[in-house]
């Protein structure tokens, strides 16, 4: 007796991922000819079957998923990563998953977004993690911590964030009160030179980022960052130490370094996100607090090229089309774990 085995790209993305982070796992795929649980993230989020704490594995696609996507329950969304056509030696997928505007409202605390290309992100609740995404926005702000009740326990880490419009890559709305907000190991750039504002925040920890553009901070910790161009506006109460700048933005007190030649800091070639790795002999090596490297590739949560999610990536998969009860079905898989 023989039996047939059909392997889809959704299965290739899910295999070895286990049962997800917690709760039940669901597949989302808007590519034609597939048989996922949902074809749109909107439908999955709205479904009564998808419970708080579940995980959505979203397939890469040339077609952007529909939005705006508003969350009112905690969900984990895992995509395949970004810049996949550049970092080919690292990736097991070739197409990213593209998202529209994302809004996290009350009730969605505990949500995680990782491995996507996304546009505008709005956070209006506690305990949101945005990690390993490419966020490119052509609107006012790329990431906004929105006005309302105080927002606590937000982590924005290992992202590649670019804004090409008037406004900051990351900012707060109005007089929003923040606590325990961590912004680490990201790349931030505003391509609009008339605004040139990469960050406008208060009461946050900003560590190990690469920042191209001006920043304005209040009552925050800034350490181990590398700043290129722009200005630093200190609105008071900041702890500024062990940063590097190509001008005098941070001064020279508290182990800050000024007038560092940017060409001596980074390798400056290769992939879009790989070019920000430190060059041999870079002045940023060991320049951070406690002797860690400054910049997005330094510290305990170093930036991961292409934002590959922390699940295994399949590098090789060979599946015969038939098998038998006597000989079985010999499947050959080569996978590589991610940090």
SS (H, E, C) 215-272: EEEECCEEECCEEECCCEEECCCCEEECCEECCCCCCCHHHCECCCCHHHHECCCCCC
Distance separating alpha carbons of residues 299 and 305, to the nearest angstrom: 15
Highest mean pLDDT, choosing among 17-21, 281-285, 324-328: 281-285
Domains and CATH numbers, the chain: 2-336 (2.160.20)
H helix or E strand, kind and range, residue 43: helix 41-46
Q: What is the pLDDT of residues 153-172, one digit of tens each?
A: 999 999 999 887 666 788 88
**Strand-pair partners of 206:** 183, 222
pLDDT at 150: 86
Q: What is the pLDDT of residues 9-42, one digit of tens each?
A: 333 333 334 434 458 999 999 999 999 999 999 9
* 122 has a pLDDT exceeding 80: yes
Q: Is the pTM of this model over 0.95?
A: no
pLDDT at 146: 83
Percent of the chain with pLDDT over 70: 79
If you average pLDDT over every residue of the chain, what do you get?
Answer: 84
pLDDT at 327: 63
Higher-scoring residue by pLDDT: 13, 46? 46
Higher-scoring residue by pLDDT: 22, 90? 90
Per-residue burial over 194-222, b = 16 or more CB atoms within 10 Å of its CB, e = otherwise: ebbbbbbbbbbbbbbbbbbbbbbbbebbb
* 335 has a pLDDT exceeding 70: no
Higher-scoring residue by pLDDT: 338, 232? 232
């Amino acid at each position: 007796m023989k039996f047939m085995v059909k392997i889809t790209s959704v299965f290739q993305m899910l295999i070895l991922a286990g049962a997800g982070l917690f709760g039940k796992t669901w597949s989302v795929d808007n590519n034609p000819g597939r048989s996922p649980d949902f074809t749109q993230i909107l439908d999955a989020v709205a479904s009564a079957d998808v419970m708080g704490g579940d995980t959505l594995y979203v397939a890469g696609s040339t077609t952007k998923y529909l939005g705006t996507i508003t969350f009112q329950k905690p969900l984990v969304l895992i995509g395949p990563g970004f810049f996949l056509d550049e970092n080919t030696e690292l990736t097991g997928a070739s197409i990213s998953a593209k998202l529209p505007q994302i809004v996290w409202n009350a009730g969605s605390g505990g949500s995680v977004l990782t491995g996507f290309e996304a546009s505008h992100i709005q956070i209006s609740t506690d305990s949101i993690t945005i990690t390993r995404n490419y966020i490119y926005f052509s609107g006012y702000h790329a990431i906004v911590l929105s006005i309302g009740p105080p927002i606590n326990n937000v982590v924005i880490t290992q992202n590649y964030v670019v804004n090409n419009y008037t406004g900051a890559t990351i900012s707060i709305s109005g007089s929003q009160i923040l606590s325990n907000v961590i912004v680490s190991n990201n790349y931030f750039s505003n391509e609009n030179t008339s605004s040139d504002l990469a960050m406008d925040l208060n009461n946050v920890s900003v560590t190990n980022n690469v920042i191209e553009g001006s920043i304005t901070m209040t009552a925050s910790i800034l350490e181990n960052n590398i700043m290129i161009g722009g200005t630093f506006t200190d609105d008071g109460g900041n702890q500024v130490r062990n940063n590097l700048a190509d001008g005098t933005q941070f001064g020279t007190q508290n182990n800050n370094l000024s007038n560092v030649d940017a060409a001596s800091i980074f390798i400056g070639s290769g992939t879009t996100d790989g070019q920000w790795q430190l060059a041999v002999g870079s002045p940023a090596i060991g320049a951070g607090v406690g002797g860690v490297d400054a910049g997005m590739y330094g510290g305990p949560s170093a930036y991961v090229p292409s934002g590959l999610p922390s699940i295994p990536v399949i590098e090789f998969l060979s599946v015969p089309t038939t098998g038998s009860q006597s000989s079985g079905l010999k499947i050959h898989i080569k996978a590589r774990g991610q940090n």
